[in-house]
Amino acid sequence: MNFKYLLLAAALFVACGDDSSSTPVNDPPAKEEKIPANPSYTDCIQTVFESLTADFSLYGVNIGSLVIDSMYWDKGDANNRGESIYTYKAYWTGTHLDSTYESNFRDGEWSYRTITNTKKAEVTTNGNITTLTTTDNGDTDTRTVYFDGDSLAITHMEDGSPFTSIYVLKNDTIFRPTQDEFIAKDEKDIHTCYLKEKYDGELVVRNRYETGVQNGMIVLTRTYIEDGLDHKTGTMFMFRL
């Protein structure tokens, strides 16, 4: 593994020192206006890279990420579109997530629910490292992110052990050095890119990403591909504060 990647992973296990700053983010800040998406902002690689940190935006952490306004997922494949659907809509006051509205369509029936955001969060920063700790109903979750503009590493707990995902943006490609995966642009369309994986000595396309702008929102659609065929697909509508 490249020495820089080792440093990225190692940095996430270093505790923030005495010079770190800790900021509670539970109280809603002053209301801010959404900035409409620039129609030229549709580069697929850049959009995918920024969307990787969207979860941190839910807690007012600004590390270059986009903010999710809503999502639409069709869980079927190309032959049964519309039979299993999930939608999500977020309601904000500035950078504070107040609540979400979710709907599910399954077996011909819709179900709906509104979820009030009751999570308490604390953000700690030390240079390029940000740690987000959230508490909800007594359960605590911690995520740590290293971000320096073109390198991103996120650590979280999985099955009781720390798991780190590393992404490096270089030459219009997002590399995942620990996963034998990379995301590259379509040769003819900057609005489309593909997640490719090395499998049995061959490159296999796992996901297709498509970007655009709709009603002032940055739109990112991800389609899962199996055996060369389209399966479930999801679309996120995002904005900047």
Q: What is the pLDDT of residues 7-19, one digit of tens each?
A: 344 444 333 333 3
192 phi/psi in degrees, rounded to 5: -130, 140
> Is residue 55's pLDDT more than 50?
yes
Average predicted confidence (pLDDT) for the chain: 80
Predicted confidence (pLDDT) at residue 213 exceeds the cutoff of 80 = yes
Rounded distance between C-alpha atoms, residue 149 and residue 83, angstroms: 40
Both tokens of residue 13? Answer: 């296990």
Give the Cα separation of 37 and 57 in Å (integer). Answer: 17
* Residue 223: closest CA among 207, 240, 201: 207
Q: Beta strand 120-126 with 161-170: parallel, antiparallel or unpaired?
A: unpaired
pTM over 0.75: yes
Indicate left, alpha or beta for 190 from its phi (over 0: left) and psi (-120 to 50: alpha): alpha
pLDDT at 57: 67
Determine whether 38 is exposed, middle or buried from the number of CB atoms within 10 Å of its CB (0-12, 13-18, 19+): exposed
In the chain, where are the structural domains located?
3-239
